[in-house]
Chains A and B, each alone.
Chain A
Amino acid sequence: MLITITVNGKNVTVPENVGLTYLNELGFFGDVVIYNGFPASENVELKNDDTLCFIKKGVKPLEDELEHYMVSRHTPFVYEKLKNSLVAVAGLGGLGSNIAVMLARLGVGKLFLVDFDVVEPSNLNRQSYYISDLGKFKTDAIKSQIENINPYIDVCVQNVKVDENNVCELFFEYDIVCEAFDNAESKAMLVNTLLTETDKTVVCGSGMAGFFDANDIKTVKKFDRLYVCGDEINEAKSGSGLMSPRVSVCAGHQANVILQLLLES
């Protein structure tokens, strides 16, 4: 009996009851061997549908193998599912820039990223930008960053201020909209408009300022199509700033609930 496995993104047929080292005989070698999403430490017996990547450190991979290497630490079949999904992110500040990068690392196939502003120095304490981005539109800066992280993502951007008159049309194509604005009124506007006028699901951030306990930041399903991440209390204000750790924790909550929604759908 023969079984079929995936090695470096290609189907390979091997006999039953052979171990991982059998693949060395077929010419596959690596400094790191990822077996079903986890580095292999022993000569495990191969099973049908196993996924393996043999990665050589310091060697530039072939174009058609790079994508498979990049996601070899994903749980098997997650990347394949995400490749056909789309997500919109409204606002590219501390939450949105970090969320966009996380969704790109996950391999969400199409991202729509919206912001009207340019990168300025006070953004760099928490937002995913560089000194070299100063003065650039956040949309352009994040798009070029994502091209350097995962070039297999289709990134669409728009430089526009989101308001109740354009919000439904802007996000028309996207079932999941991630709210990542700075301002409480804008957050409420986006949620109210999208939940009353469309059937989209909205994932919000609310309450991540200061250096309070990171464990106070939670994901809560508030309504049927509304998730809120944050501590819901600590607003950004004079005397309580926004800093990378709690903002990133909140961004991680938002990206993770989006991942769950995409995998459940």
Chain B
Amino acid sequence: MLVNSVEMKLEETCNIKQFLESKNYNPLFVAVELNGEIVSKNKFEETNINDEDTLEIVSFVGGG
């Protein structure tokens, strides 16, 4: 799969929330695009990803 344009191997199918947490992202601070479609935050748990997917993760940091 491709994550932020970097190729990687997804060992087993999981949902977006699990994937984010495994990569140390806080699901509250991100916006996620799966195969070119933005995924609503309340669908992170019900949306599964597999090794063919393309994921773009934007993680926001505080300050303004």
> Which residue of chain B lies nearest to A237 when distances are taken between CB atoms in the complex?
B62
Residue pairs across A and B with CB atoms within 8 Å: the count is 85
Give chain B interface residues in 7-60, CB to chain A under 8 Å. Answer: 26, 28-31, 33, 36, 38-41, 56, 58-60
- A140 at interface (Cβ–Cβ under 8 A)? no
**B29, B36, B40, B64 — which one has the most chain A CB atoms within 10 A of its CB?**
B64
A-chain residues with CB within 8 Å of residue B30 when the two chains form the complex: 188
Q: Are B31 and A205 in contact (CB under 8 A)?
A: no
- A235 at interface (Cβ–Cβ under 8 A)? yes
- A94 at interface (Cβ–Cβ under 8 A)? yes
| Chain B interface main SS type | mixed
**Distance (whole angstroms) from the CB of B14 to the closest CB of chain A:** 20
Interface size on B, residues (CB 8 A): 19
A63 to B31 CA separation, bound complex (whole angstroms): 47
| Chain A interface main SS type | mixed
A-chain residues with CB within 8 Å of residue B56 when the two chains form the complex: 222-223
Interface size class of A (residues with CB under 8 A): 35 or more
B-chain residues with CB within 8 Å of residue A109 when the two chains form the complex: none
B-chain residues with CB within 8 Å of residue A187 when the two chains form the complex: 29, 60, 62, 64
- A195 at interface (Cβ–Cβ under 8 A)? yes
Q: CB < 8 Å: which of B33, B39, B40, B60 contacts A184?
A: B60
Give chain A interface residues in 200-241, CB to chain B under 8 Å. Answer: 204-209, 222-224, 226, 228, 230, 232-237
- B61 at interface (Cβ–Cβ under 8 A)? yes
- A95 at interface (Cβ–Cβ under 8 A)? yes
- A242 at interface (Cβ–Cβ under 8 A)? yes
**Distance (whole angstroms) from the CB of A211 to the closest CB of chain B:** 13
Residues of B within 8 A of A (CB): 26, 28-31, 33, 36, 38-41, 56, 58-64
With A235-B61, A236-B63 given, name 8 new contacts (CB 8 A): A96-B64, A182-B63, A184-B26, A187-B60, A188-B28, A196-B40, A222-B56, A247-B63
**9 A-B pairs closest in CB distance:** A236-B63, A235-B61, A187-B60, A184-B62, A95-B64, A196-B40, A184-B29, A184-B60, A182-B64
A-B contact pairs, 16 of them (CB 8 A): A91-B64, A95-B64, A181-B64, A188-B30, A188-B41, A188-B60, A205-B64, A206-B60, A206-B61, A207-B61, A224-B36, A230-B61, A232-B59, A234-B63, A236-B64, A242-B64
Residues of A within 8 A of B (CB): 91, 93-96, 180-185, 187-189, 191-192, 195-196, 204-209, 222-224, 226, 228, 230, 232-237, 242, 247
